[in-house]
Amino acid sequence: MAREVGVITKIKEDSAVVKTQRATACEGCSEKSTCHSMGGSREMEIVALNPVQAKIGDRVTLEYATGRMLQLSLLLYIFPIIALLAGAIIGDSAAPALGADPSILAAVLGFAALFLSLGVLLALEKKARHSDKYKPTIISAKRAPQARTEKCELCR
């Protein structure tokens, strides 16, 4: 499990928006633009589940399920390649029976399978976006210090 520290900026029902510092590992990630990065700064906002009922201003620790992130990465990068290769192999094998050029049919079916796999990934992404399964979870919170409203003896 990966962990990160941030500060809550907004509360939304059972989740919270947490402002964190972008890790150096994020720089190579293809999904860094979906983390709601704010301009060119290293700060980003993440929506996280809030089972500890942390409040705005609290410093929190987030936990990411790295196993799920690995599954998503494999699906995102490997599935389209496998679909492309499977389509090309099927096209190459079926070409003689259809009386078509094997290279052309392999390319057509390969790219058709690739685009179909990208459509499947987009549909899965929409479904996953509405699921709490892939959101990080706040595991601990340090309460924000309360502002003092009374004046000190010297200030009066």
Q: What is the 3-state secondary structure (H, E, C) of 17-39?
A: EEEEECCHHHHHCCCHHHHCECC
Report the alpha-carbon distance of residue 55 to residue 60 in Å, rounded: 10
What is the dotted CATH code of the domain comprising 2-67+132-142?
Answer: 2.40.50.140
> Would you write out the chain's pLDDT as a tens digit for each of its 156 residues?
778 888 888 888 888 888 887 665 555 565 555 554 445 557 788 888 888 888 888 888 888 777 877 888 888 899 999 999 999 999 999 999 999 999 999 999 999 999 999 999 999 888 877 777 778 888 888 886 765 555 556 655
* Amino acid in the structure at residue 99: G
- Listed by start position, the domains of the chain span 2-67+132-142, 69-129
Tokens of 108: 């057509």
Asked if residues 81 and 99 have their Cβ atoms less than 8 Å apart, the reply is no
Using the 8-state DSSP alphabet, how is residue 134 labeled? G
26: how many CB neighbours lie within 10 A of its CB?
A: 15
